[in-house]
Amino acid sequence: MKKVIIILFLININTIRSQSLENLKKSDTIYILFDHGKSQEKFFEGSINPFYTFFFHNSIYKQFRFKHPITENYERITKQNVFLKNEKNKIIDGNFFSKYNTTELLDFFDNNRILYIIDTDDFVDNNIILKKVIFESTFERGQ
């Protein structure tokens, strides 16, 4: 039940406050909510560390992928749920990827920001786990 409440809270945050790309560009750290919704996929490719994929406009050919760095001990941080409220201006979700064109998104993610995935499967009691990820895409600018 707590997990459902947290997910509803996060959806509410992103619905009420439409994030501006310009405001997000000012932040050096971005948190990406992965709620296993439409146009999202979590898959494993020969390792125990998953890829988190967001499909651009539902196209399987245009994917924004976030994966853990190659090292076995990638950074994981446990935070209390109040973190979601405190950092709501830095949290994006799947809807973010349909608001902007591919060039804007590639420029945004290629800008040496620190990125963390918030996977709703990792919510435990009153805590969430943030997993540091790196960005890659399956297409080039202008596609």
- Taking the model in full, what pTM does it have? 0.78
- Domain assignment present for residue 96? The answer is yes
* CA geometry: angle 65, 66, 71, nearest 5 deg: 130
Instruction: Give the residue numbers spanning the domain of 29.
Output: 2-137
The pLDDT tens digits of the residues spanning 80-110 come to 989 989 999 999 988 888 888 888 888 888 8
- The answer to whether residue 142 is domain-embedded is no
Dihedral class, residue 21 (left if φ above 0, else alpha if ψ from -120 to 50, else beta): alpha
Q: What are phi and psi of 118, to 5 degrees?
A: -110, 100
Percentage of the chain modeled with pLDDT above 90: 19
Residue 143 lies in a domain: no
Average pLDDT over residues 48-53: 76
Q: What is the mean pLDDT of the chain?
A: 79
Q: What is the 3-state secondary structure (H, E, C) of 37-68?
A: CCCEEEEECCCCCEEEEEEHHHCCCCEEEEEC
Give 121's contacts (C-beta < 8 A, 6+ positions apart): 36, 42
pLDDT for the residue 128: 92
Asked whether residue 3 carries a pLDDT value surpassing 80, the answer given is no
Number of domain units in the chain: 1
